Amino acid sequence: GRAAWSVRFFEALLAGCVPVVLSDHYEPPFQALFDLTEFVIKWPMARIDASLTDFLASVPLEVVERYALAARRVRCWYLYPPPEISWLGNWEARHELEEVERSICPCLS
């Protein structure tokens, strides 16, 4: 996203990716609970140039894997299902979402 807040952060976590935050003002939620430096790369807006892609390409695979593992451990905190009212009359879609939630966040079931 291009704003100080974007759903992309949450989508990246739930997709098993390492979020790269390109905002000097966005503060991801739950910073008091987790060390975000373990699973988020925050990059200053003043340095959005070739150095960003150079940096990302230089991150060793084992570091990316460690970030992704840390992200998987906390991503359930960032899961925001649609409101109950949106599922009225569509039980099949609701069941499908519950199965996805169960596979991503077994501790919530």
Which pLDDT tens digit goes with each residue over 89-101?
777 877 877 787 7
Residues 6+ apart with CB under 8 A from 104: 14, 75, 76, 79
Residue 66, pLDDT score: 96
pTM equals 0.72
Residues 6+ apart with CB under 8 A from 39: 13, 18, 19, 67, 68, 70, 71, 74
| Dihedral pair phi/psi, residue 41, rounded to 5° | -105, 120
Residue 87, pLDDT score: 62
* Polymer length in residues for the chain: 109
- Tell me: the pLDDT tens digits for 22-61? 888 888 888 888 899 999 999 999 999 999 999 999 999 9
Q: Average of pLDDT values for 67-88? A: 77
Nearest to 12, CA basis, from 35, 51, 42: 42
Residue 83, pLDDT score: 59
pLDDT band at 4 (very low <50, low <70, confident <90, very high): low
> In this structure, what DSSP letter does residue 83 have?
P
Give yes or no for residue 1 having a pLDDT over 60. no
